[in-house]
Each structure stands twice: as structure tokens, then as C-alpha cells.
Amino acid sequence: MDGGNQSVLSEFVLLGLCHSWNIQILLFIIFCMLYLIIVSGNIIIVILIITDSNLHSPMYFFLANLSFVDMLLSSVTTPKMITDLLREKKTIHFGGCMSQIFFSHFIPGLEMVLLVIMAYDRYVAICKPLHYSTIMSLKNCTGLVMTSWALGFLHAMSQIVVTVRLPFCGSKEIDSFFCDTPLVIKLACIDSYNLEILMNVHCGVVAITCFILLLISYTYILLAVRKSSKTGASKALSTCTAHVTVVVLFFGPCIFIYVWPLSNTGVNKFLAVFYSVFTPLLNPLVYTLRNKEMKNAIKKFRNYYVDSKGNN
């Protein structure tokens, strides 16, 4: 395959979400508001966890990392999608397209591993409480987070090193609002059928492996909870319910996009929007609204802000 394909095709044309100008204006307003909420909400969670000493535990350390990653996830495609809603011709340079492909696999791959780590943290806390402080020490927690970044990077590299070397010389229209690997591969001047299957299988293996590990963790947790007291079981289930909700919200669209791809373009676009906009929006809501310690931290932060403002 020719590595100098940029001289043949310098940019791609994104067809976007829809063709109605009025709908695009409406979507522009909605997605602008949602993106601001995503960024500000996740920043607040990170600040609360850093500043509140009651939240200095492994679970909230991972939650702060998840909020940061969610902010990155929404920033991979959403800003470009928002600005394109006001443009008649939606184009993206070759380098920008390859960057979107890289980060749209790097960040989700990282988040998948991070969700597995958070499930493991809950498993250790519930199933091995006496060894929790030793197993989930700050050094080990930091190592686990660094591992998630490394694995996400390796997953993204396996996608981009193949895609960037494809010879593009024909159609340059991508029927989506961002550069997604399967859609970009279809534009290559080769028989891409086997390559599409290979790339989807690779993504599917990563997603299914992480999902199976999550199922194993929560199965052990449920078995342990059955043997504990009602009070302990209720608290454990409350904590795990938030994690399970986030897992379903994250893996649901991912499985349909890569593991079980649909031929309906409209459905794929909806799932991609849900994946990049609504999942990062819902994650902080799930963790803050269902978590007593987070709600207390928010109240303390709000009272401190009100008192400081009143004194001034």
C-alpha cells in the first residue's frame, strides 16, 4: 500500500447528521449547551475529588480519572460536529481525519480498561475488605491507571497504522459527522471487505473482553453480597448500581457500532452521537445523583462558595 496517499487525497467531505438547515441550527444550540454541561460537570467532579479530603480514596481517584477521560471523549468529535452544523460544506483535512480515528479509539479503549479497573476496585472492597488498603494502595492505583492509558494507546495505534497507509484516490464523502474507521476504509482504492471485518473484529475483541471481565467482577460481587448483612448488601448494591449503569451506557452503543454493526446509517449516526455526547453527559449525573458522599461534597462546595461570596 502507498504511504503517500495524502498527495492524492488531501481532505474528506463529511455529510453530517442531516441536510435540513433549520434542524442543524436547532442541533447546534442543543449540542453547544450539552457540551458546556459535559465539560463543566466533569471539571467540577474532578475539583471536588481533589479538594475534599473525604473523597481521597481509590474509588474516587478512579472516578476523577473517568470524569477527565469522559471530557476528552466528548472533545474528540463534538466540537468539530458543532462547528460543522453552521457550515454548508463540511470538510476535514487528511491529518485531522486520521487524528479523529486515533483518538476515537484511544479514549474509548482507555475508558473500557478504566471501567474494568473500577469494577475490580469494587470487587476488592466488597470481597476482600481486610486486604483492600494493601491491594489498592496509591502506587497500585496509579499503576492501574497508567496501564489503562498504555492499553488504550496500543489499541489506537493498531487502528491508525493500517488506516493511514491506505491508498485513497476515489470518493472522499463520509456519511457521518466524524471520521470513523469502517467508513474511511470503504473509501480506499482496494478491496476493503476483509480489512473492514478484521478491524471490526479487533474492536469487538477489545470490547467483549472488557465486558466479560466486568461481568465476572460483578458476578463475584453479587455472590459476596448475598452472604453479607442486609445493610452491607444494600450499600454494596447501591455503589455497584452506578457502575453497572455507566457500563451499560458505554458498552451498549459500542457493541452496536463495532461488534454488531447495523446497515441503517441513521441508527449508526444516533448511536455515535449517544456515544460521544450523551454518555459523557450521563456518567457524572449517575455518579453524583446516586452517591451520598458526592452529594455531600457538592453541598459543602456550594455552601463554601455562598459564604465566600457573602463575605465579599
- Separation between Cα atoms, residue 123 and residue 128, nearest integer Å: 7
Catalogue all structural domains in the chain, each as residue range(s) with its CATH number. 5-305 (1.20.1070.10)
pLDDT for residue 254 is more than 70: yes
The sign of the torsion formed by the CA atoms of 74, 75, 79, 81 equals: negative
Which residue, among 85, 71, 55, 60, has the nearest Cα to 297 in the 3D structure? 55
> pLDDT grade, residue 68 (50/70/90)?
very high
Question: Residue 78: what pLDDT?
Answer: 92
Beta bridge partners of 173: 13
pLDDT at 96: 92
Split at pLDDT 50, 70, 90, the class of 262 is: low
d(C-alpha 268, C-alpha 266), whole Å? 5
pLDDT at residue 250 in the model? 79
CB atoms within 10 A of CB 82: 19
**Using N-to-C axis directions, what is the helix angle for 58-84 and 138-163, rounded to 10°?**
30
pLDDT single digits (tens) 92-104? 999 999 999 999 9
pLDDT at 204: 78
Q: What is the pLDDT of residues 233-250, one digit of tens each?
A: 566 666 677 777 778 777
pLDDT at 228: 65
* Rg over CA atoms, the chain: 21
- In this prediction, residues 268-294 reach a mean pLDDT of 78
**pLDDT: is 218 or 148 the higher one?**
148
Alpha-helix runs per DSSP H in the chain:
21-51, 58-84, 94-127, 132-135, 138-163, 181-185, 193-227, 230-254, 265-273, 279-289, 292-311
Q: What integer best gives the mean pLDDT of the chain? A: 83
According to the model, what pLDDT value does residue 2 have?
A: 45
